Amino acid sequence: ADFDAKKKRKVAEIYQALNSDPIDVPKLRRMAISEGGLLTDEIRCKVWPKLLSVNTDDLPPLPGKELREDNKDYQQVLLDVRRSLRRFPPGMPDDQREGLQEELIDIILHVLKRNPQLHYYQGYHDIVVTFLLVVGDRLATALVEKLSMHHLRDFMYPTMDNTKQILNYLMLIVDQVNPEVHDFMQSAEVGTIFALSWLITWFGHVLSDFRHVVRLYDFFLACHPLMPIYFAAAIVWHRKQEVLDCECDMASVHHLLSQIPQDLPYESLISKAGDIFVQFPPSKLTKKAAQAERTAASTFKDFELASVQQRPDTVLRQRFRERLRGEERLRGEERTKSVLTKPRTNRFVKLAVMGLTVALGAAALAMVKSALEWAPKFQLQIFP
C-alpha cells in the first residue's frame, strides 16, 4: 500500500512538471534519476523527448524503403538486426517482431543518411531498439537522431579513438573510489575492454530484463553524457571483493568482469554512480585522461538550454556543500587533520565524509545541475 501511494505521488509530480508553463525540465530530470525512474513507458513517451529537447510537434516523416538502396551500412545493419532476437519481448509473435526489425533498420539508416558525419557501429542497434520498443518508430527516429548527435557522438567517429578515451575514465574513477581494486586490475593488465559493450549500448546488450534497461535509460538521459561510465565504475566497486578474490591475471579478471550479473541492485548502484559523479566530476578527471579534450563529452559544457527558465537553481550545489560540511563537523577537526596528512588513505576518508553517507537526493540535485549545464541547444550544430 505504501509503495502504491509513493508511486501515485510520483506520477502526479511528473504530470505536474509536464503541465507547468514552461515545462519543469529540472524536476523531470530529478524524477528520472530518483528511485524507480519514470515508472511506465507511457510516461517515458512524454518525458524522454523533454530530456532530449525534442519537439514532438514537429517530428520527421517515417523513413522510406528507398534508404536501403546503395547504402554502405545496409548489409551490416541487416546482419546486426537479424541477430537481435533476444532484444524483443519473449513470446512476441514472429510477424510482429519481424515488423519491428524492419522499422529498426529504417530508423538506423534514416539517422545515418541525414547525418553522414556519423558512422554506424555494432551495438548501436541495441540502443535504437530500446527507443523503438518504448516510444514507437516515428518518435524513436527523432530521439535517436538527437542522442546520436550528442551522447553517442564519440562512438560514431570513423575510428574508436574517442571511445577508448572515454573508457580511460573507468580506471581513473575506480582508482578514486577503491585504489586497491584499481591496483589489482592494473597488475592483472585487464584493461577496460570488458566494459566496451556496456558503454556503447548503454547496457542494453548485456542486460536480459528490459525493465532494468529502460530504468538505466531514464537515469542516463537525465544526466551527464559520461554517466554510463560512472555506472560501470559503480558495478566494479560493487563487485570489488569478487575482483580481489580472483586470480590476478588478465584472462581470469576479464572473464569475471565481462560476465555481468543479472541481479544487480540497480537502485543502489544508480545512487552510488551519482555519489561518485558528485565527488569526482568529469572536470576533475579530464586532466588525467589522455586527450580527453577531444571527446564530445568534454565539449558538452559549452552547451546551454534554449530556455533561460530551465536553468538550474544555485541552491542545488549549495545544499550539497552544506551536507558535506555537516558530515565533516561530526568527525571532528583533529581526526580530519590527521587523515589529511596521509595522501593514499585520504581517498577513503573523502569517501566516508562525502560519498557513503550522501543520500540520492543530494546526488540527484547535483547531477541535475550538471545535466542542465550540458544539455544540448536546439540551434547548435556539432558538425560543420
Instruction: Decide if pLDDT at 315 tops 50.
Output: no
- Residues 6 or more apart whose CB falls under 8 angstroms from that of 334 comprise none
Which class in CATH covers the domain with range 1-155? mainly alpha
- Per-residue pLDDT, 328: 61
- Per-residue pLDDT, 319: 43
Q: Which long-range contacts does 35-38 make (Cβ < 8 Å, 24+ apart)? A: 35/267, 35/360, 36/7, 36/10, 36/215, 36/267, 37/214, 37/215, 37/218, 37/219, 38/14, 38/218
- The set of cell numbers assigned to 177 is 573510489
Proportion of the chain above pLDDT 90, given as a percent: 65
299 pLDDT band (50/70/90 cuts)?
very low
Q: Which of 27-36, 78-87, 211-220, 303-312 has the lowest mean pLDDT?
A: 303-312
Contact 108, 125 (CB under 8 A): yes
Instruction: Decide if pLDDT at 341 tops 90.
Output: no
Which class in CATH covers the domain with range 160-308? mainly alpha
C-alpha 30/C-alpha 250 separation (Å) is 39
pLDDT (tens digit per residue) in 200-244: 999 999 999 999 999 999 999 999 999 999 999 999 999 999 999
Q: What is the 3-state secondary structure (H, E, C) of 33-56?
A: HCCCCCCCHHHHHHHHHHHCCCCC
- Residues 6 or more apart whose CB falls under 8 angstroms from that of 69 comprise none
291 pLDDT band (50/70/90 cuts)?
very low
Contact 376, 151 (CB under 8 A): no
2 pLDDT band (50/70/90 cuts)?
confident
65 pLDDT band (50/70/90 cuts)?
confident
Mean pLDDT, the chain, rounded, equals: 81
**Which of 215-224, 331-340, 348-357 tops mean pLDDT?**
215-224
pLDDT (tens digit per residue) in 110-159: 999 999 999 999 999 999 999 999 999 999 999 999 999 999 999 999 99
Q: Where are the domains of the chain?
A: 1-155, 160-308
**Can you list the alpha helix ranges (DSSP code H) found in 136-195?**
137-149, 161-177, 179-188
- Residues 6 or more apart whose CB falls under 8 angstroms from that of 346 comprise 339, 340
- Per-residue pLDDT, 322: 55
C-alpha 176/C-alpha 350 separation (Å) is 10
Contact 56, 139 (CB under 8 A): yes
- The set of cell numbers assigned to 356 is 557513503
- Per-residue pLDDT, 172: 95
- The set of cell numbers assigned to 306 is 534554449
- Per-residue pLDDT, 229: 96
Residue whose grid cell is 538527437: 146
